[in-house]
Amino acid sequence: MSTELEEKVGMKIESYTFRVEKGKIRELALAIGDLKEEYMNGEAVPPTFPTVIDFWGGGSSSSELLNLNMKKVLHGEQEYEYFREIIPDEEITVHGVIEKAYTKASINFFVLRKDYLNEQGETVLISRSTIIERH
């Protein structure tokens, strides 16, 4: 493993918060075409809703932190562990850290772990994203 990659492990992304807006729940469900009533009225969130929290709450800080070329970046794997329901209108705070960084077949892999906390400080979700950077 290159030293440059190794140094990325343990790096933290800037924490961010996002209020779970009903309109964003509905918008995501419509984009997927998953028209369940509880999503349409914003009473429950689809399983992949955390991606909205990431992009609208945090912007592109992980790619900036890793200094990635967005033309070469692909999403390799996504894992969610759900501990509590995400409740509409609550504010979620996200802390992220680079858990792994390695090269395989001259492709860079990064695993970004994010912990999502509710207003009581309880973990509602843990996400692990494997980001691939092609050369």
Partner 1 sequence: MFESLQKEEITHTQLVRYAGASGDFNQIHTVVPYGEAAGLGGVIAHGMLIMGFVGQAIGQWFEAKDLRKFTARFKAMTRPGEKITVHGRIVDEKDDCWICEAEAINEDEEVKVKAFFEIKK
Q: Contact residues for partner 1 (CB under 8 A)?
A: 24, 27-28, 30-34, 36, 44, 46-48, 51-52, 54-56, 70-82, 85
Q: What CA–CA distance (Å, rounded) separates 50 from 62?
A: 15
CB of 46 to partner 1, least distance (A): 5
In the bound state with partner 1, the residue whose beta carbon lies nearer, of 31 and 105, is 31
CB of 94 to partner 1, least distance (A): 13
In the bound state with partner 1, the residue whose beta carbon lies nearer, of 7 and 34, is 34
Nearest to 96 by CA among 66, 74, 132, 72: 66
- The β-bridge partners of 109 are 102, 132
Say if residue 39 is exposed, middle or buried (CB neighbours under 10 Å; 0-12, 13-18, 19+). Answer: buried
In the bound state with partner 1, the residue whose beta carbon lies nearer, of 98 and 127, is 127
